Amino acid sequence: MRIVCRVIDQVGEYKILQTTHDYVVVNTEKQYANHAHFKSRKDINYLLKLIKSGIKPRSNYMKKAAKRLLGDDYDSLNERGKRYTNHHNQLHKYVRVR
């Protein structure tokens, strides 16, 4: 079986490929081993936004994908602040953890 892929976008150093089954993100500044597979384009955009902001993802799948894309640079990402709810107006806010 032959899998065909095509480049659909390049965001900074990340090339986004679409295969017949899923999407693949490749870090062009590192080896091909630095790639991750996704089912939707929305998840790719979310992960790249977090990486650009320097924030570690919370879900295990996104953490694993970020580690594969960044390699040793993954440790440079910061934890997101703790989430709390303001009960007066039901807004969710984050407190920066240092």
β-bridge mates for residue 18, sequence order: 6, 23
Q: What domain range includes position 45?
A: 6-95
Residue 71: name the closest of 13, 38, 30 by CA: 30
> What is the pLDDT, as a whole number, of residue 87?
63
Residue 1 lies in a domain: no
pLDDT of res. 74: 87
Beta bridge partners of 26: 15, 35
- Could you tell me if residue 64 is inside a domain? yes
Instruction: Classify residue 59: in a domain, yes or no.
Output: yes
Angle at 47 between CA 10 and CA 3, to 5 degrees: 55
pLDDT for the residue numbered 33: 80
- Give the pLDDT of residue 35: 92
Q: Please identify every stretch of the chain with a pLDDT value under 70, giving residue numbers as ranges.
A: 1-3, 81-98
Q: Which two tokens stand for residue 75?
A: 């440790």
Residue 69: both structure tokens together: 């894309």
> Considering the domain boundaries, does residue 24 fall inside one?
yes
Q: State how many domains the chain has.
A: 1
